[in-house]
Structure 1
Amino acid sequence: MPPAPPETTDVEQGTPQEAPLPQRPSSVPSFLFISFVLWMIMNNQADDLAARATWQDNLSAIHDNIQNYSAWLNGSVSNFSMPTVDSTLIPLVMDFMSLSGELDSHQGSYYQNLTAFWKGDVRFHNLTNITTVPQLQTPFWLKDAEAFVSTANLTNATELSDRLGKWQWAHSTKTSIRFADKKVSGEDAKKKDLSEDIALIHGKIDLSDPDSSEEMRLELEGVHFISNGSIYAFAETARQGIDTRYIPGLVPEWRLNDTARIIEAELFTREAIIKERLNSGSIEDAPEEDNPITGCSFKFFGQILASGVPLYLMQELEEEIDNPTGITTVRAPEMKLSGVLVSKNCGILYELPDIQGLKSHGLFRRITTYGGLSAFVNMFILWLLLRQISLSRSAAGLSRVSRYPFIIQSMIDAMSFIGHVTIAILSEGRTSVAVLAPAGIACVLFVYEAQFAVLVGQIQAPEDVIPTPPRPTLPPAPRSTPPPQPQIISDEDAQPQANAEPISVVVTTVPPPTPTTQPPIRPSLARFLWDHIRTDPSARMWALMSFFLVVVFRLVIALSIPLVFLAALHCSIWLTQIYRAARRGRTSGLTAEYLIGTTLGRLYFLLYFLGCPENVLDIEQRPWVYGVAIFMLAQAAVIILQGYFGPSLFLPRRLTTADVYDYHPPLPLPDPEAPEQSLGDCSICMDAIEVDPALRGRMDEKGDGHGHGLSRHTTNLWAQNARKTYSLAPCHHLFHTACLERWLAIKNICPQCRRPLPPL
Structure 2
Amino acid sequence: MLTNNRGDEVGLRNQYEEALESLNSQLGNYSAWLNRTRANYTVVQPENNTVTLPLVESLITFGPQLDPYEASYYSNTTGFWKGSLKFYNLTSMANLSTVTSAPPWRALAEQVMAGQNMTNTTEVAERMGSWNWTASNKFTMSIRDKTVLPQGTFKDLSPDVAIIHGKIDLADPSTEEELRLEFDGVHFLSNGSIYTLAEPTGRWADLREASALVPPQRMNETGHAIEAELAGRLSKLREKLNLGALELDKPDESNSPQSRCSFQFFSQLNSTSLPLPVLQEIEQEIDKPTGISVVGSPPLIMQGVLISRNCGILYELKEMTGVKSQSLYRRITTYAGASTIMNLIILLLLSRQIARSRSATGLARVSRYPFFLQSLVDAISFVGHITMAIIADGRPSISVVAPAGIACILFVYEAQFAVLIGQIQAPEDAVTPTPTPPPPRAPTPAPAPISREPQDDSSNTPNVDVPVIAVTPPTQPPPAAIVPPEPPRTFFHFFIHHIRTDPGARLWTILSFCLIVVFRVVIMLSLPLLFVGSLYGFLWAPQLYRSVRRGRSSGLHAEYVIGVTLCRLFFILYFLYCPKNILDVEPRPWIWCVALVMFIQIGVLLLQERFGPTFFLPQRMTRKTQTYDYHPAIPLPDPEAPEQSLGDCSICMDAILVDSSLHQRGDDEKERMLGLGRWGQAASMRKSYSLAPCHHLFHTACLERWLAIKCRRPLPPL
TM-score in same-fold range (> 0.5):
yes
Rounded to whole Å, the distance in 1 between the matches of 2:104 and 2:415 is 64
The answer to whether the 8 A contact 2:565-2:598 is kept is yes
Q: Does 1:431 align with 2:396?
A: yes
Which residue does 1:481 correspond to in 2? none
Aligned partner of residue 318 in structure 2, secondary structure: strand
For residue 655 of structure 1, the aligned residue among 612, 617, 621 is 621
After TM superposition, the structure 1 = structure 2 runs for residues 602-621 of structure 1, keeping only pairs within 5 Å, are: 602-621=568-587
Structure 2: distance between partners of 1:535 and 1:389: 26
Q: Secondary structure at the match of 1:228?
A: coil
Matched, 1:142 2:103: no
Written as runs of structure 1 = structure 2, the 5 A alignment for 1:636-715 is 636-662=602-628
Aligned with 2:512: secondary structure? helix
Specify the alignment match of 2:73 in structure 1: 110
SS in 2 for 1:443: helix
Rounded to whole Å, the distance in 1 between the matches of 2:88 and 2:687 is: 80
CA distance in 2, matches of 1:615, 1:529: 45
In the other structure, the counterpart of 1:78 is 39
- Superposed CA RMSD in Å reads 3.6
Structure 2 equivalent of residue 13 of structure 1:
none
1:91 equivalenced with 2:54 (yes/no): yes
Cα displacement (A) at 1:300 = 0.5
C-alpha contact (below 8 Å) 1:296/1:346 kept by paired residues? yes
What amino acid sits opposite 1:758 in the alignment?
Answer: P
Residues in 2 aligned to 1:384 and 1:745: alpha-carbon distance in whole angstroms: 23
Q: How does 1:386-425 map to 2 (within 5 A)?
A: 386-425=351-390
Q: In the alignment, what sits opposite 2:24?
A: 63
Which amino acid letter does the alignment assign opposite residue 506 of structure 2? Answer: R
Partners of 1:133 and 1:360 in 2: CA distance: 43
Quick check: 2:301–2:322 contact (8 Å CA) kept in 1?
yes
2:699 matched to 1:736?
no
* 1:462 and 2:422 correspond: no
Superposed displacement of residue 353, structure 1:
2.2
Distance in 1 (alpha carbons) for counterparts of 2:327 and 2:38: 49
What amino acid is the match of 1:180?
R
Counterpart residue type for residue 176 of structure 1? T
| Partners of 1:118 and 1:418 in 2: CA distance | 25
- Output the amino acid matched with 1:155: T
Is contact 2:376–2:515 with CA below 8 Å preserved after alignment? yes
Q: What is the CA-CA distance between 1:96 and the residue it aligns to?
A: 0.8
Which structure 2 residue ranges, 5 or more long, are not aligned? 442-480, 633-647, 657-671, 677-682
**Which stretch of structure 1 is more off in the superposition, 429-438 or 198-207?**
429-438
Identify which range, 143-152 or 742-751, moves more after superposition.
Answer: 742-751
Taking the aligned partners of 1:293 and 1:603, their CA distance within structure 2 comes to 42
- Percentage of pairs with the same residue: 47
Q: After superposition, what is the alpha-carbon deviation per residue over 1:200-256, rounded to whole angstroms, capped at 9, x for unaligned?
A: 010111122334433221111100011111100011122111111111011111111
Q: Report the TM-score when normalising by structure 2.
A: 0.82
Matched residue, 2:334: 369
Deviations 1:340-389 (A, max 9, x none): 11111111111112111211221122112212221222222222222222
Opposite residue 339 of structure 1, the aligned amino acid is G
Q: Kindly name which structure, 1 or 2, has the bigger radius of gyration based on alpha carbons.
A: 1
In structure 1, how many angstroms separate the alpha carbons of the residues matched to 2:368 and 2:238? Answer: 61
1:424, CA displacement in angstroms?
2.1
CA distance in 2, matches of 1:74, 1:409: 68
Report if the CA contact (8 A) 1:189-1:195 is conserved.
Answer: no
* CA 400–664 in structure 1, closer or farther in 2 if over 3 Å, else same: closer
* 8 A contact 1:100–1:303 mirrored in 2: yes
For the residues of structure 2 that align with 1:95 and 1:531, how far apart are their CA atoms? 74
Aligned residue pairs total 643
The match for 1:622 is 588
- Within 1, Cα distance between the matches of 2:689 and 2:196? 89
* Distance in 1 of aligned mates of 2:122 and 2:281: 55
CA–CA distance in 2 between the matches of 1:534 and 1:465? 12
1:303-452 map, 5 Å: 303-452=268-417
Q: Distance in 1 between matches of 2:687 and 2:310?
A: 88
1:524 is aligned to 490
SS in 2 for 1:393: coil
Residue in 2 aligned with 1:581? 547
Please report how far the alpha carbon of residue 94 of structure 1 lies from its aligned counterpart in structure 2 after TM superposition. Answer: 0.8
State the Cα distance separating 1:746 from its structure 2 match.
5.2
The secondary structure found in structure 2 opposite 1:324 is coil
CA distance in 2, matches of 1:435, 1:385: 22
Matches for 1:175-194 after TM superposition, within 5 Å: 175-185=139-149, 187-188=150-151, 191-194=154-157
The answer for the alignment partner of 2:537 in structure 1 is: 571
Aligned residue identity for 1:85:
P
Cα distance in 2 for residues equivalent to 1:142 and 1:581:
70
- Matched residue, 2:119: 155
Structure 1 residue 598 corresponds to structure 2 residue 564: yes
**Matched AA of 1:752:** R
Distance 1:329 1:443, change over 3 A: same
1:415 offset after TM fit, Å? 0.8
1:485 maps to what in 2? Answer: none
Q: 2:193 matched to 1:236?
A: no
Residues 706-725 of structure 1 aligned to structure 2 (within 5 Å): none
Write the letter of the residue equivalent to 1:431: P
Corresponding residue to 1:215 among 155, 162, 178: 178
Q: How far apart, in 2, do the equivalents of 1:745 and 1:401 lie?
A: 17
Question: 8 Å contact 2:196–2:210 — kept in the other structure?
Answer: yes
Kept in 1: contact 2:164–2:185 (CA 8 A):
yes
Contact preservation (8 Å) 1:114, 1:181: yes
> Judging changes above 3 Å, is the alpha-carbon distance between structure 1 residues 386 and 723 closer, same or farther for their aligned structure 2 residues?
closer
Mapped to 1, the partners of 2:36 and 2:386 lie a distance apart of 54
Residue identity matched to 2:138: K
- Separation in structure 1 between the aligned mates of residue 199 and residue 279 of structure 2, nearest angstrom: 33
Aligned in 2, Cα 1:334/1:740: closer, same or farther, shift over 3 Å?
closer
Q: Is the 8 A contact 1:582 1:658 kept in 2?
A: no
* CA gap 1:309/1:749 in 2 versus in 1, 3 angstroms: closer
Which residue does 1:751 correspond to in 2? 711
Cα deviation digits, residues 572-601 of structure 1 (max 9, x gap): 101111111111111212222322222121
Q: Is the 8 A contact 1:300 1:340 kept in 2?
A: yes
Partner of 1:480: none
1:169-224, Cα deviation, whole Å (9 max, x unpaired):
22212222111111123x53985322111110101111223344332211111000
User: For 1:123-182, what per-residue CA distance to the aligned partner results, in whole angstroms no more than 9, with x for missing partners?
Assistant: 222222346679954311111112112222222222222222222222212222111111
Contact 1:59 1:271 in 2 (8 A): yes
Aligned to 1:172: 136
Gap change, CA 1:685 and 1:300, over 3 Å in 2: closer
> 1:252-271 maps to which residues of 2 (within 5 A)?
252-271=215-234
Q: Which residue of 1 aligns with 2:637?
A: none
* Rounded Cα–Cα distance in structure 2 between residues aligned with 1:750 and 1:741: 15
Task: Tell me the SS of whatever aligns to 1:658.
Answer: helix
Quote the offset at 1:605 in angstroms.
Answer: 0.7
> Which residue number corresponds to residue 283 of structure 1?
246
Hey, what's the Cα distance between the residues in 1 that align with 2:707 and 2:503?
A: 17
- When normalised by structure 1's length, the TM-score is 0.78
CA distance in 2 between partners of 1:745 and 1:63 (Å): 83
Q: Give the distance between the partners of 2:323 and 2:386, measured in 1 at CA.
A: 22
Q: Does 1:204 align with 2:167?
A: yes
Q: 1:584, 1:658 within 8 Å by CA — same for their partners in 2?
A: no
Partner of 1:491: none
Opposite residue 107 of structure 2, the aligned amino acid is K
